[in-house]
Structure formats: C-alpha cells, structure tokens
Amino acid sequence: MSLLFSPLSIRSVTFPNRLWVSPMCMYSAVDGVVQEWHHTHLTQFASGGAGLVIAEATGVVADGRISPRDTGIWNDAQRDAWAPIVQAIHDRGALAGIQLAHAGRKASTWWPWAEQRGSVAAADGGWTTVAPSAVAFAGFDEPAALDASGIERVVDGFRAAARRALEAGFDVLELHGAHGYLLHQFLSPLSNVRTDEYGGSLENRARLLLRIVDATREVAGDAVPMFVRISATDHAEGGFTPEEAAIVGGWAVEHGADLIDVSSGGLVAHQRIDVHPGYQVPLAETVRQGGRIPVSAVGLITAAEQAEQVLVDGAADAIFAGREWLRDPHFGLRAAHELDDTVAWPPQYVRARWR
C-alpha cells in the first residue's frame, strides 16, 4: 500500500486516504448562500477519489467575505444550504470540511473575472473593511483598525460559524490563517503595527488566532478534527518567517488544533515567490520538524508519484491539491491507478479501473 492511499486517523475521524482537495473560492454564492454550482463542484471530487474535500473560504461574518459573491455561514439559511452538499460528499465516500475565514483588509473586493479591480464601493455592494491596523493592501481601500469590541465580534463570529458548520454535518473545521487574510494579518509585522496585547511580539501577534482556536475547539468538543491553514512565509523582507510559523503551529496544536495546513504568501503585493513544482513542500517540512506537529503540504503537487514522495520523505502527513483537481476532478482515482493502489471507485466508474 502506498502512503498516499493509506488511512489517517485524527481524533474520532479516519480519513480513507491522504490526497485531499484544498479549499478553492468559486465566487458564485448569492448573499453568502451556496448554489447548484457548489454542489456539482464539490461532490465531483468525492466521486473522484478524494479522502477529504474542504469547501472554500467561507465568511464567518458578512464583512469577512473576500467578495460579495463569497460563501458564508453566519446565518441559518446558509447553514441549511450547505447541508445537502455535505450529505452528497458523504454519499460518495469522502469526508467534508469547511474553511472558516475572515478576509480582513482583503475583503470587499471584486471577484477575479469582474471588469473592475480593487475594493468594491458601498454603492456596488461593498463595505468598510477591518484589520489589525489601518494599513491597506496595495490597491485596496484603507481598513479600519479593530478595537476591543471588534476583536470580540471576530471571535464570536468564528465560534458561531463553527457551530453552524457542525450542524450542517461537516466532519472537519479549518481556520484560515493564511494568504493575507485577517488572522494572517495579525501574525505578520508587515500588516500588524499594533502596540497593545495583539501586536509586537510573536506571542501577541498570535493571540487572536489562538483565541479562535480555543473558541472553535470548545464548540467542536473532543471528537472533531480541526486544522489551521497558515502562510509559513510572507515572501517579503521583514515578514512572517518559517521559523515563526513552526512556533505558532506548535502553539495552535497545544490549544487544540490537530494539523497545520502549510501554504505561503498572499499578505503583500511586493512578495517575491519562486514558483515551481512542490515549491511549498520545504515549508511544510520546516513547520513539521520545528513544531513537531502534523502538517499537510500543498503547492503545485500535480502527480501521484510526486505526492507519494512527499509523504515518504517525511515532509508532510497529508497532501492538499487545488488546481490539479480542477483540471481532473478524478485525480484521486488516477493517482491510485498510477500507484497501483486501491481506492474506492464509484461502481459506475469501475470499468475504467483496469489497465
């Protein structure tokens, strides 16, 4: 048996394999409510051999969405719309997760294929964004710095979203602390210039993330796996570093997280990234070894043997992929076929299993 298609148990959940679908924004919701597009998009991966399908960055509050077209889970109507999608993923043999998110200063933006760019004006359905400090992302409107009550609202938003996600049937909760969104903005000194207990030292900059880990674990209880996605480097001088990421990842696990989903970048427009196959795997390995914690790897992992080697080398405990699943929604079936391993094929597709 390959490592890629071996099971992985976390708390009360056993993942059938370690080839998982990353959360990928579709910018296709209406008032935060998922649509038929999301149902087809997410369930096809379950039919395609994924062990876990994580739904896209989903706003825990209305003003936490990246764009007005992002999914949400701040009300019961949104929760109820997610439930049949979760059930359909389960019916096809995969586990379902959701990424709970707040975009911070990168909220209220136009979706990728809109004619406009930058921040969405209030007249067009946009809103005033919030952040740790009144420091704008290049090309976006300046955010309002969160005060004490605003921070409490964020924590409460994650807590309530986690509860609704579990009510919808999700098996895994992931907190989005990467890609330049709010929790990452607190972690990085490039976006967090606060002088109170949420700024300055690494411990202070990690305080909000750890409070949210605590709040989410309280809701989730002892049985539900909880992941935290982080950007292990800002790819910019003076920013968040892999060494700091390993420390914060260790703290998150101490507070109740189970796995750190290691990505990178997204905080500043002047980042410089050397993009190549597997380019983020060394970051995952740094966090895994430095924090002595379980991690997943992501980043241009596009082939079965490549994914298997990451696990064999001990760089990660599981593999997330994004674009390859978009190119081939049956990536899991293909990968198992190429590794001459076993995965649960839908009976309708079994004729394609054999050479």
Task: Return the bridge partners of 174, or none.
Answer: 99, 227
- Distance CA(199)–CA(50), nearest Å, equals 39
- 3-class DSSP state of 72: strand
How far apart are alpha carbons 262 and 299 in whole angstroms?
9
Cα gap 198→151, rounded to integer Å? 10
DSSP 188-233: -TTT----STTSSSHHHHTHHHHHHHHHHHHHHTTTS-EEEEEES-
Contact (CB, 8 A) for 213 and 231 = no
- How many other CB atoms sit within 10 Å of the CB of residue 49? 27
Helix (H) or strand (E) holding 9: strand 8-10
The residues that are catalytic are: 181
Query: Among candidates 303, 301, 291, which has minimal Cα distance to 334?
Result: 303
CA–CA distance, 324 with 314 (Å, rounded to integer): 22
